Amino acid sequence: MSAALRADPLADDTIAAILAGYGGSQWEAIALVNRLLAQWQSNADVQGWQAPDGTPAPIAAALQAYLAAAATLPAWADAARIERAEELFFDMSMLSCSLLFCASLPECYVVPDLAGVLHVAGQLEAHCDYRVRSTAAMIFPVMMKGGLASPQGGGIAQILKVRLIHATIRHLIVRGNPAQAAGAAVPALDAPCRHLYDTLYNHGWDVPANGLPCNQEELAYTLLTFHYIFLRGLRRLGLGLAPQDEEAYLHAWNVVGHVLGIEDGLLTHDMAQAEASFAALQARGRQSPFLPDPRPALGAALMRAMQDQIPLRLLKPFPVLLTRYLCGDAARIDLALDQRVNLLSRALFGAGMGLARAIDSVVRLALPGFSICRMMTRIVGYQFTVKFLMNQTRPLKLPPALLNQVGHTVRAWGDDPKAPRWMNALEARLAGRKARRAAPGGQPC
């Protein structure tokens, strides 16, 4: 059976058992499950979790069986590689957020079926920030120190919640367990859409044409956007990692993929394999149009969300230009990012990137940590991270302890440890934040 018609039996059976075993409406059952999932705040919480008194027995049994089967790392997980990936994520800091906004998320929207699921699941043209912030709410807990391996971390707990969210989306869209829906087209319903669940349930879905929602192929492709596209973006900025570091980063995200319910046979283990898999999945996805095409609206909403965080009018086109640079011409066309950009902004971006890479390649012979490209993308990332993701009026939807950990991590990203002091001071000035005082013994030049 095609990967587009395979989903996640463990999570799907869990949701099916919950909805079948609840005496009230399925909306009430989902609301109850969401309240129970809020108790999964750390990796320690999901080990041996017991449903509180008063929980309907079918729901308690389904969730406890799910955790017993899923709340462990795979036997092939390498602690040293995971730890190295965490170090790399921390080292890239604000740059990681630039790559999330301008590479990973845009590439997610390129595949028509996947963009269609995202559109149905959240009307993301109107609520782009929901998708971005939900994604960050998983990435940070996963990639922070101890996120996957420490009882105090929150990565496993967050992944297992997302896995059940995917199963709920599948169940509502196909109106039943996906295992019984692989060959059927689900007709749309002419019924009021009072909330997201109604929207999913009423929308309709052509399974033979589009595959199952959130299917194995789409999950594997999405995983590639979070590790392979991140690493490819670093290469395109002239900041590529050593091969062993790239493989460590791929490995950590493969562990995430396994816990998320992606079949091990769909995981990739080096950049060549990841590149081939990404190209094949993207090409296959492009052959299945989803009408009306949601991709241009999704791309425009993402660009608009980024531009809103940039104060200078001259620099507002930079997210579009950086996305074109990182994702290439095909993605630019798919997402309709080929609109005219004023000549001065385009010239400033092109000259800046070209000159920066040329200077970097020369100066790094003497100062390995020097990189103007890194500084430029960190400045962009600062706007997105601090002003958007960490906006105190709309904090990420994370447990308080985990949100505090994320805040502490982001505050530690203020200075680039690889850059000389004067570059950190310049970066702080251009980003609009206060420069930190240099630590004794810091790099002076």
Domain boundaries in the chain?
1-429
Residue 359 has pLDDT above 80, yes or no: yes
Helices 295-307 + 128-143 axis angle, to 10? 70
Q: Are 209 and 288 in contact (CB under 8 A)?
A: yes
Q: Give residues with Cβ within 8 angstroms of 39, minimum separation 6.
A: 45, 49, 52
Residue 444 has pLDDT above 90, yes or no: no
pTM above 0.75?
A: yes
Q: Are 199 and 151 in contact (CB under 8 A)?
A: no
Tokens of 369: 């940590």
CA distances from 262 to 169, 219, 438, 441 (A): 16, 7, 45, 46
Span 104-121, pLDDT tens digits: 999 999 988 888 877 776
Helices (H), 144-270: 155-174, 196-203, 207-210, 216-236, 243-259
What is residue 440's predicted lDDT score, i.e. its pLDDT?
A: 43
Instruction: Give mean pLDDT, residues 197-203.
Output: 87
Residue 332 has pLDDT above 50, yes or no: yes
Distance CA 62, CA 358 (A): 58
CA distances from 35 to 30, 31, 377 (A): 9, 6, 39
Q: Which of 314, 374, 324 is nearest to 347 (CA)?
A: 314
Task: Give 437 or 131, the one with higher predicted confidence.
Answer: 131
Distance CA 61, CA 118 (A): 30
Residue 228 has pLDDT above 50, yes or no: yes
Count of CB atoms within 10 A of residue 191's CB?
A: 9
Q: Which of 159, 155, 152 is nearest to 140 (CA)?
A: 155
Counting every residue written for the chain, the total comes to: 445
Q: Which residue has the tokens 């492009």?
A: 286
Span 229-276, pLDDT tens digits: 999 999 999 999 999 999 999 999 999 999 999 999 999 999 999 999
Based on C-alpha coordinates, what's the Rg of the chain?
22
CA distances from 15 to 11, 58, 171, 178, 218 (A): 6, 11, 8, 11, 20
| Burial class (CB within 10 angstroms; exposed 0-12, middle 13-18, buried 19+) of 19 | buried
Instruction: Give mean pLDDT, residues 398-407.
Output: 82
